[in-house]
Amino acid sequence: MNKGTVTKKRGLARVALLLLLAAMMVISACGANKEGNETEAGGEKAKTVRIGYQKYASVNIMKERGGLDEKLKEAGYAVEWTEFPGGPQLLEALNVGSIDFGHTGEAPPIFAQAAGAPLAYLAHSPESPKAESILVPENSAIQSSADLKGKKIALNKGSNVHYLLVKYLEREGLAYSDVEVVYLPPADARAAFESGNVDAWVIWEPFYSVAQLATKARVLADGEGLVKNYEFYLASKDFAKSNKEAIDVILAQLEETDNWAKDNQPEVAKLLAPALGLDTAPLEQALSHRGWGVIRVSDETLEAQQNIADTFLKLELIPSAIKVSDAVVK
């Protein structure tokens, strides 16, 4: 073997050794990365609960009062809060995967489920029928339901007050087609109401008390004897199935919040006022109209929701029949 051949073989051996060392380093690095990912998955990096909320109601009180973030942190979760103008918008965000948990009135989950949203009912507040109403201007000629025929009525499409109007017209012997329903979110509806572009406004708290006290609007009817007006707590189905501990923490904190708020309504009004940009007077009135507590969803609750869904189907407000009990995680 000549000297050139030996030198060549030694060079190849060195290259092979260097490649082996490089491969070992890559394997070692991969092992370290794998171990790091397992540590993250094992819980050192907190999961995130994305909570959607509306101005007012128990979730908003819980947020402003504080305490949930710390309790969820102990369970390995971080929290992100997102505000929405109404239940339909909140559930659209849940439908597209932007939030995990939120709260709405009775009607939004019906519309959302009919649109294919993968939602799950978790719990609800006690009945609060006086927390929504049909308002007319102070000097309006409308004195009774008969005067509503042919009139423009503003409401937020798919919200709890949508069902209130349906039930009110039904009780008063009027057809849904006897009135002209104008779909507007609360801010736009108030502007239309004050300018006279609509004749009546169906609205929930605290917008109801704010408008009534500011404009001296008259209450044509509230939900008493017509609707239950539950506030529902909902989550996406996937989140509900995979994060029972987080849901239990949230519902427990909501219950603790309501127990405190029920006996401290003036303090609640002061707490919410700066966050909502409102005076305390309308907030105190609004708080007096609602029930307090957290009730797990029962068969009776689901039956009540099914009645709403069936009513909306008859009026062709939803495109197809739904089975409300499908939106429950067993």
Q: What is the DSSP secondary-structure string of 3-29?
A: HHHHHHHHHHHHHHHHHHHHHHHHHHH
Tokens of 180: 């002209």
Give domain status of residue 312, yes or no. Answer: yes
Residues 308 and 240 in one domain: yes
Q: Which of 222, 249, 273 is the last residue of a domain?
A: 222
Residues 22 and 83 in one domain: no
Q: Inter-axis angle of helices 160-171 and 107-114, to 10 degrees?
A: 110
d(CA 242, CA 305): 25
Q: Are 197 and 111 in contact (CB under 8 A)?
A: no
Give domain status of residue 91, yes or no. Answer: yes
Sorted by sequence, the CB contacts under 8 Å of residue 120 that are 6+ apart come out as 234, 235, 236, 237, 240, 327, 328, 329
Q: What is the pTM for the complete model shown?
A: 0.81
Residues 205 and 165 in one domain: yes
Residues 146 and 272 in one domain: no
d(CA 260, CA 253): 11
pLDDT of residue 5: 42
Tokens of 76: 């390995």
Residues 296 and 279 in one domain: yes
Tell me the CATH number at 194: 3.40.190.10
Task: Give the pLDDT of the chain (330 residues) as one tens digit per residue.
Answer: 544 443 433 443 343 333 333 333 333 333 333 332 222 333 445 699 999 999 899 999 999 999 999 999 999 999 999 999 889 999 999 999 999 999 999 999 999 999 999 999 999 999 999 999 999 999 999 999 999 999 999 999 888 899 999 999 999 999 999 999 999 999 999 999 999 999 999 999 999 999 999 999 999 999 999 999 999 999 999 999 999 999 999 999 999 999 999 999 999 999 999 999 999 999 999 999 999 999 999 999 999 999 999 999 998 999 999 999 999 997
Q: Are 58 and 265 in contact (CB under 8 A)?
A: no
Give domain status of residue 238, yes or no. Answer: yes
Residues 168 and 242 in one domain: no
Distance linking the first and last C-alpha atoms of the chain: 79
Measured from the Cβ of residue 19, the count of other Cβ atoms closer than 10 Å reads 10
Helix (H, G, I), strand (E, B) or coil at 67: coil
Question: Pick from 187, 208, 183, 191: which is nearest to 133 by CA?
Answer: 208
Give domain status of residue 42, yes or no. Answer: no
- Tally the residues of the chain: 330
Q: Which of 185, 206, 222 is the last residue of a domain?
A: 222
Domain housing 22: 1-34
pLDDT of residue 22: 37
Residues 205 and 143 in one domain: yes
Number of structural domains (the chain) is 3
Instruction: Give the pairing of strands 295-296 and 200-204.
Output: unpaired
Residues 234 and 210 in one domain: no
Give domain status of residue 163, yes or no. Answer: yes
Give domain status of residue 300, yes or no. Answer: yes
Give me the amino acid identity at 98: S
